[in-house]
Amino acid sequence: MKEKYFLAALLISLSIVSTGTDAAHHEKAANDYKEGQQAVLDAFGWDFSKAEITTEKITENIHVLFGYGGNILVSTGEDGVLLVDDQFPQLKNKILRSIRKLGGKSIDYIINTHWHFDHAEGNNAFGPDGARIVAHENSRHMMLNPKPINLSFIVYPQQPYPLDAVPEITFKDQMNLHLNGDRIELYHFGNAHTMGDAAVYLRDSNVLHMGDVFNMAGPPFIDADNGGSIDGMISFCEEILKVINDETVVVPGHGPISTTQDIQNYIDKLVVVKDRIAVQIAAGKNLQEIQDSDPAREWREEFGEGPFIAGLVDRAYAGMIK
């Protein structure tokens, strides 16, 4: 009898030690994530308490919200409020205030152009409130099984999304939705910026959201560790130009509202960078030698110095040598 009590006591004590160890591990992991996240936010100069959401009108019921992170395309109408991308959960109340000024009440639908933190972590705020979320199937997979996002000059420690913040509707190559009088076409033309990119085309309004496959705020970022490649970026942009027309209003992942000609110019510059890097890879040059040759100089001349210039070359190179 004493042995049974001893064994029971031993098992209870081991359980307490194990539980305490697990709790300490999870607390450390959470703290590490918060520190890593804050380091990235600091690198971008983002302070959510100071964030301002501004609005630009495209049509009577189509607007773009600019803030921290990716551009948000908003469709309002009798079917409710649709967001294409949703930035950060810390900006929930500021985003909702902007939506209410446009006549909306709550967020009913969200389309994620991809799974990166600055475009989709707003899911953590709006998903639990009942928003229905749509994305490419690979984005859902990466939300549940994330890997760090290597920006070359800093790494974001992407964490799994809660189940109520991941897409409940996914697609593989193409799908259509019908909301607020618009035929909304979602396209995936293979890996590009990531492995789970979606271009969102509101055909009746003739408005396109490209996510980070097309960036007008600086040099593009290629998530080479998570399926992205410069060839994929070029191909994706070429394919979407076959879908839209010269009058299409283009919303980039970051930066000002743009045109189809801006996409073509973007393609042309990406091709130049790719070709310069490819020649040097074939000649046996290493990454530092390639960086020293300044293969992305047109981007530097347009946007100035900064880590994203070297980052473009670094991530393009990483994708090309795989």
pLDDT value of residue 32: 59
Q: Is residue 74 pLDDT above 70, yes or no?
A: yes
Q: What is the pLDDT of residues 75-131, one digit of tens each?
A: 999 999 999 999 999 999 999 999 999 999 999 999 999 999 999 999 999 999 999
Mean pLDDT of the chain: 91
Structure token pair of residue 266: 């973007």
Mean predicted confidence (pLDDT) in 128-135? 98
123 class by beta-carbon count within 10 Å (0-12 exposed, 13-18 middle, 19+ buried) = buried
Alpha helices in the chain (DSSP H): 2-44, 92-101, 117-120, 123-126, 137-144, 230-241, 260-282, 287-292, 297-303, 307-320
Distance (Å, rounded) from C-alpha 280 to C-alpha 191?
Answer: 24
CATH hierarchy code of domain 48-320: 3.60.15.10
This prediction's pTM:
0.89
Q: Among all chains, which residue has been given the structure tokens 């109520």?
A: 164
Q: What is the pLDDT of residues 218-230, one digit of tens each?
A: 999 999 999 999 9
Q: Is residue 20 pLDDT above 70, yes or no?
A: no
Q: Among all chains, which residue has been given the structure tokens 């475009």?
A: 119
Distance (Å, rounded) from C-alpha 82 to C-alpha 63?
Answer: 11
pLDDT value of residue 28: 52
The more confidently predicted of residues 8 and 54 is 54
Distance (Å, rounded) from C-alpha 130 to C-alpha 2?
Answer: 55
pLDDT value of residue 313: 96
pLDDT value of residue 30: 54
Rg (CA), the chain: 22
Residues contacting residue 91 through CB under 8 Å, at least 6 positions apart: 48, 51, 53, 67, 68, 69, 122
Distance (Å, rounded) from C-alpha 273 to C-alpha 300?
Answer: 12
In this prediction, residue 35 has a pLDDT band, given cuts at 50, 70 and 90, of confident
Domain ranges of the chain: 48-320
pLDDT value of residue 121: 96
Q: Cβ(226)–Cβ(214) under 8 Å?
A: no
